Structure 1
Amino acid sequence: MVERLDATFAALSDPTRRAMLASMAGGERSIGELAAPHAMSFAGAAKHVKALERAGLVERRKAGRTQLCRLRAEPLREAQAWLRQWEQFWTVRLDALEAFIAAVPQVSPETPEER
């Protein structure tokens, strides 16, 4: 699972790939459709799709001469579960720190006249 998580985060590290995934959330898209908003070539878009495929985030199929891409959400669910685990970890620790700070008596700083 660690390798898949690494591949997922590596694929998500690029804003173009994140935008492509967002586009596919609305349904299948051709590589040309994925390339259009980014003013990039088919070959450039295909490289991004390949990175998403390696991470398991995209499934590609051919329909005639067109290559259609479909979002696969399972790796995103795994990444979200990993992030949720760390969110819970830090929430507990930060809540404990906040409670500790609240329990410490507050000492007001001395003014120059009090010295």
Structure 2
Amino acid sequence: MVVRQQERTELDDREVDRIFQALADSTRRDVVVRVLGDSERGQSVSSLASHYAMSFAAVQRHVAVLERAGLVRKERRGREQIVRGDVTTVRAAARLLAEYEELWRGRVTRMEQILAEPEGDDS
């Protein structure tokens, strides 16, 4: 029997902190892009490491940060660790950013309305 996991719509504060701290680093953002682009097969940590001028261990640490944030999943395939992107977490973060954007667009619209109002007569 196949059970579809319901997509989460809300993140708690700790999850949001972990996601955006993980995405604050350009190497980690690049890893996410690479594994999301190849989400069916995933990429081995070794393959990912070949793209960066850093040690294999450093890339492993970046992947671990992404994994703790829920942005990627690792699985063992023989001797390799295969990394896949977690689209559900990325979508939840995108929804959160969309909410922030909507909030700020509303504030900008309100400021524009206030600035467009004729000045009151002080006499």
Instruction: Tell me the TM-score normalised to structure 1 length.
Output: 0.84
Partners of 2:49 and 2:56 within 8 A in 1: yes
For 2:89, the equivalent position in structure 1 comes to 75
Q: CA RMSD in A?
A: 1.3
Point out the structure with the larger helix share.
Answer: 1
* Structure-to-structure mapping, 1:90-105, within 5 angstroms: 90-104=104-118
What residue in structure 1 maps to residue 53 of structure 2? 39
Partner residue of 1:66?
Answer: 80
| C-alpha distance after superposition, 1:51-96 (max 9, x if no partner) | 0110111111111111110000222222212211121111112112
SS of equivalent residue, structure 2 residue 37: coil
Task: List structure 1 segments (4+ residues) > 6 angstroms apart after TM superposition.
Answer: none
CA–CA separation in structure 2 for the residues paired with 1:6 and 1:76 = 13
Would you say 1:12 and 2:23 are equivalent positions?
yes
TM-aligned CA deviation for residue 33 of structure 1? 1.5
Unaligned ranges ≥5, structure 2:
1-11
What is the distance in 1 between the residues matched to 2:13 and 2:88?
14
**Match status 1:23 vs 2:23:** no
Gaps of 5+ in 1: 106-115
The one-letter amino acid paired with 2:13 is V
Larger Rg: 1
Percent of aligned positions with the same letter in both sequences? 36
Question: How far apart are the structure 2 equivalents of 1:88 and 1:19?
Answer: 27
**Contact 1:5/1:78 (8 A) holds in 2:** no
Aligned residues: 105
